[in-house]
Amino acid sequence: MTAPEFSLAIHGGCGVLPRSTITEKFAADVRAALHASLAAGAAILRDGGSALDAVEAAVVVMEDAAVFNAGHGAAFNEAGGHELDAAIMDGRTLEAGAVTGARAMRNPIRVARGVMASGDFLLLQGDGADAFARHNGYDIVPQSYFGTDQRRQMLAEMKALAAEGQAVKANEAQKHGTVGAVARDRHGNLAAATSTGGYTNKPVGRVGDTPIVGAGTYANNATCAVSGTGKGEYFIRKVLAHEISARIQYLGHSLERATADMVAELRDWQCGAGVVAVDRYGNVTLPYNTEGMYRGSITSLKPASVAIYE
Amino acid sequence: MTAPEFSLAIHGGCGVLPRSTITEKFAADVRAALHASLAAGAAILRDGGSALDAVEAAVVVMEDAAVFNAGHGAAFNEAGGHELDAAIMDGRTLEAGAVTGARAMRNPIRVARGVMASGDFLLLQGDGADAFARHNGYDIVPQSYFGTDQRRQMLAEMKALAAEGQAVKANEAQKHGTVGAVARDRHGNLAAATSTGGYTNKPVGRVGDTPIVGAGTYANNATCAVSGTGKGEYFIRKVLAHEISARIQYLGHSLERATADMVAELRDWQCGAGVVAVDRYGNVTLPYNTEGMYRGSITSLKPASVAIYE
> Is residue B106 one of the residues assigned to a domain?
yes
Å between B125 CA and nearest CA of chain A: 5
Suggest the residue from B132, B209, B212 to mutate for an interface test with chain A (most A CBs closer than 10 A): B212
Look at residue A151 in the predicted model and tell me its pLDDT. Answer: 94
Query: For residues B288 and B183, what is the distance between their CA atoms, to the nearest angstrom?
Result: 18
Task: Give the number of A-B residue pairs with CB atoms closer than 8 Å.
Answer: 137
C-alpha distances (whole Å) from B266 to each of A166, A300, B274, B278, B290 are 48, 37, 9, 20, 11
In the predicted model, what is the mean pLDDT of residues B285-302?
A: 97
Number of domains in chain A: 1
Å between B292 CA and nearest CA of chain A: 24
CB contact under 8 A, B121 and A243: no
Residues in chain A within 8 Å Cβ distance of B100: 125, 207
Q: Find the CB nearest B236 among A100, A125, A213.
A: A213
In tens, the pLDDT along B47-83 reads 999 999 999 999 999 999 999 999 999 999 999 999 9
| Lowest mean pLDDT, pick from A167-181, A270-284, B3-17 | A167-181
A172 confidence band (pLDDT: 50, 70, 90): confident
Give the A-side interface with B, CB within 8 Å. Answer: 94-96, 100-101, 120-129, 131-132, 202-208, 212-215, 218, 232-233, 236-239, 242-243, 246-247, 250-251
Residues in chain A within 8 Å Cβ distance of B208: 123
Residues in chain B within 8 Å Cβ distance of A238: 94
Does pLDDT of B257 surpass 90? Answer: yes
Does pLDDT of A170 surpass 80? Answer: no
CB contact under 8 A, A132 and B205: yes
In the predicted model, what is the mean pLDDT of residues A71-76?
A: 97
Look at residue B293 in the predicted model and tell me its pLDDT. Answer: 96
In tens, the pLDDT along A44-58 reads 999 999 999 999 999
Give the B-side interface with A, CB within 8 Å. Answer: 94-96, 100-101, 120-129, 131-132, 202-208, 212-215, 218, 232-233, 236-239, 242-243, 246-247, 250-251
> Is residue A116 one of the residues assigned to a domain?
yes
Residues B211, A275, A116, CA angle at the centre, nearest 5°? 50
Q: Which residue of A has its CA nearest to B120?
A: A233
- Which entry of B100, B178, B210, B223 is annotated as an active-site residue? B178
> Is residue A1 one of the residues assigned to a domain?
no
B1 confidence band (pLDDT: 50, 70, 90): low
| CATH classification at residue B211 | 3.60.20.30
Look at residue A216 in the predicted model and tell me its pLDDT. Answer: 98
In the predicted model, what is the mean pLDDT of residues A211-235?
A: 97
Suggest the residue from A123, A221, A243, A269 to mutate for an interface test with chain B (most B CBs closer than 10 A): A123
Residues in chain A within 8 Å Cβ distance of B101: 101, 125-126, 128
In tens, the pLDDT along B88-120 reads 999 999 999 999 999 999 999 999 999 999 988
Query: For residues A214 and A209, what is the distance between their CA atoms, to the nearest angstrom?
Result: 9
Q: What is the three-state SS of B57-101?
A: HHHHHHHHCCCCCCCCCCCCECCCCCCEEEEEEECCCCEEEEEEE
C-alpha distances (whole Å) from B243 to each of B110, B122, B265, B304 are 26, 21, 12, 29
Give the domain extent around B133: 7-302
The size of chain A, in residues, is: 310
In tens, the pLDDT along A110-133 reads 999 999 999 889 999 999 999 999
In the predicted model, what is the mean pLDDT of residues B22-36?
A: 96
Look at residue A303 in the predicted model and tell me its pLDDT. Answer: 98
Residues in chain A within 8 Å Cβ distance of B218: 239
**Sign of the alpha-carbon dihedral angle for B150, B156, B159, B165:** negative
> Is residue B309 one of the residues assigned to a domain?
no
DSSP codes joined into one string, A196-259: E---TTBPTTEE-STTSBTTTEEE-TTSEEEEEEE-HHHHHHHTHHHHHHHHHHHH---HHHHH
Residues in chain A within 8 Å Cβ distance of B248: none
Closest to A146 in 3D by CA, of A173, A108, A99? A108
Q: Find the CB nearest B127 among A120, A205, A233.
A: A205
The question of whether B21 is a catalytic residue gets the answer: no
Contacts (Cβ under 8 Å, ≥6 apart) of B206: A121, A123, A124, A128, B77, B83, B198
Look at residue B241 in the predicted model and tell me its pLDDT. Answer: 98
Look at residue A1 in the predicted model and tell me its pLDDT. Answer: 65
> Is residue B269 one of the residues assigned to a domain?
yes
> Is residue B259 one of the residues assigned to a domain?
yes
State what percent of residues in chain A have pLDDT above 70: 99
Suggest the residue from A99, A121, A268 to mutate for an interface test with chain B (most B CBs closer than 10 A): A121
Query: For residues B51 and B192, what is the distance between their CA atoms, to the nearest angstrom?
Result: 8
Mean pLDDT estimate for chain A: 96
> Is residue B179 one of the residues assigned to a domain?
yes
| Lowest mean pLDDT, pick from A53-62, A156-165, A167-176, B80-89 | A167-176
In tens, the pLDDT along B172-231 reads 777 778 999 999 999 999 999 999 999 999 999 999 999 999 999 999 999 999 999 999
In tens, the pLDDT along B113-161 reads 999 999 889 999 999 999 999 999 999 999 999 999 999 999 999 999 9
Does pLDDT of B166 surpass 90? Answer: no
Closest to B118 in 3D by CA, of B96, B151, B145? B96
In the predicted model, what is the mean pLDDT of residues B30-56?
A: 98
C-alpha distances (whole Å) from B161 to each of B75, B157, B173, B273, B286 are 16, 6, 14, 22, 31
Q: Which residue of A has its CA nearest to B100?
A: A125
Q: What is the three-state SS of B199-264?
A: CCCECCCEECCCCCECCCEEECCCCEEEEEEECHHHHHHHCHHHHHHHHHHHHCCCHHHHHHHHHH
> Is residue A310 one of the residues assigned to a domain?
no
C-alpha distances (whole Å) from A105 to each of A99, A129, A131 are 10, 9, 9
B169 confidence band (pLDDT: 50, 70, 90): confident
Q: Is this prediction's pTM over 0.95?
A: yes
Does pLDDT of B246 surpass 80? Answer: yes
Does pLDDT of A258 surpass 80? Answer: yes
